[in-house]
Structure formats: C-alpha cells, structure tokens
Amino acid sequence: MHLELNEKVVLIVGASSGIGAATARLLVGEGAKVSLMARRAAELQGVARELRSAGGGVLTFAGDAADGRLLQRAVAETVGHFGALHRLVVVAGPMGGRAPFHELKDEDWNFYFQQSTMVAVRACRLAVPELLNHEDAAIVLTSAYSIHAQKPELVAYTAMKGTITAISKNLAKTYGPRGLRVNCIAPGVIEKDAENTAMLAKRYSVSVERARYEFVHREFGMNVALERAGRHEEFADLIAYLLSARASYITGATINVDGGTDF
C-alpha cells in the first residue's frame, strides 16, 4: 500500500531508539524527510547516520523535549531547512517513579506532567500553526493501554497519558475543519532491547519472543492474547498509516496497539 508520504516533512519527538527510531526508518523508506529530537545525542546521531546512508533527508535536535526553547528551535529550523512541516509525531514520555498513590510526591507528578503531558502540549502548540498551512496535515500522539486498565503503581503515569488522549480529541475537533487530523495510539507491552530480552528469556526459561510478555505477566499480572510484546516496527506501522493519506477519514481516534491485552 502506497502511503503517499513522499516529500512530506515529519518532526518526531523521541526518536533515538524504539518506536520513534522505527517510525523514522519507515517514513524515510516512504520518501519522507524527517527531523528527529531526543535526549540521547549519541544514539540520535547513530539513527541519523543510518537514515542518511539510506538517502534520507534528516535533521537532528539533541536535548530534553521538555525544554520549550528546543522544541521551538526544532520547529523553526525544520521549516527553514525543508521549507514546510506536514506531520508531527510525539513518542517521548519516559517512565519515572512508580508507587501507590499515597507514596507519590509532588516531584513524581511533576515529572510526568513535564515529561509527558507538557511535551505533547508544547510540541503541538508550536507545530499547529505550521501544520495549518497545508490542507493535509496530521499529528500522532502517544498514550498507553493503561488508561483503560489502571495499575496501582502507575497512577501518575496513567493520569498524564489520559490527559494526552483528551488533548488529541480536542485538537481533532478544533482543527478538523481546517484539515488537520489528530490521532493517538495506546501501546501495550513493548519490546526493549536484545540484551533485556535475552536476560528475561534465560530468567524464565522461555523463548526470546515470549520473554518480555512473561515478565509483565508474572510481575504485573498482565494477560496478552498474542502472548508476546509488540515489536517497535509494529507500532511504527500504525503511526505511518495514521500520518498517511490512506487514513484521511480517521481523526480523534485513540487506537489500542496491545496484542489483545485484557483491560
């Protein structure tokens, strides 16, 4: 299926590894130009080198996405370099403190507020004026399956992810008449890296494909119909589709990508 993303300019916030990097690879393969932002400079430059060697047009911005000045610079320089901004993807949202509600401190709540909710808010606020210059523009934000299935120690994380879901729907309603589509994905269990997978497979005496699932099943009581974690490319596939012209009548949606996780 041709996604019609050739020459589209996409800013990806949270692109040094995992879902963000997989999305960047897929988009460059579709002919898009990408601006990548992430905190880990060395990993970010590694992804950029890979994409450039594949013929991709790439800009990078290393730093904390919670810094509004860096986001402002990223949007401005993306438009200045590529001449436009057509799409925005926000994947960034690191995990902070985990504890029952009464043990969480203000600093824990503020971490998730700044690193999750406000990253999405600032990125959208800065990108929307540029996106509205085009009849066909799109945003994809990232929530989490846990907004449907509360976990005691993830209350702050889940609350802020729920806020992102609400924001995406509001943006879809607000800017839909001007052609801007806004959707949200809700990932379930996500593979980490090969080292983590191998360690878990050895710990539980299971296959590497089942290893991450076995961990969340035993430690957190999660049940996933496919009995495995999602690969980064599987989340990237949905993001790319939602950014594409093939999803031209989809907006305001929050789509679970969770392998059939029980709520």
Q: Average of pLDDT values for 132-137?
A: 96
- List every span in the chain annotated with CATH 3.40.50.720: 9-190+231-257
Average pLDDT of the chain is 95
Domain 9-190+231-257 has CATH 3.40.50.150: no
With pLDDT > 90 as the criterion, what percentage of the chain qualifies? 90
Cβ–Cβ under 8 Å, residues 165 and 254: yes
Directed axis angle between helix 232-243 and helix 18-29, to 10°?
A: 50
Phi, psi of 7 (to 5 degrees): 70, 5
pLDDT (tens digit per residue) in 8-53: 999 999 999 999 999 999 999 999 999 999 999 999 999 999 999 9
Beta strands 9-13 and 87-90: pairing type? parallel
Q: Which amino acid is located at 86 in the chain?
A: H
More confident residue, 130 or 97: 130
**What token pair was written down for 134?**
């085009």
Q: How confident is the model at residue 1 (pLDDT cuts 50, 70, 90)?
A: low
**Residue 221's pLDDT is what?**
87
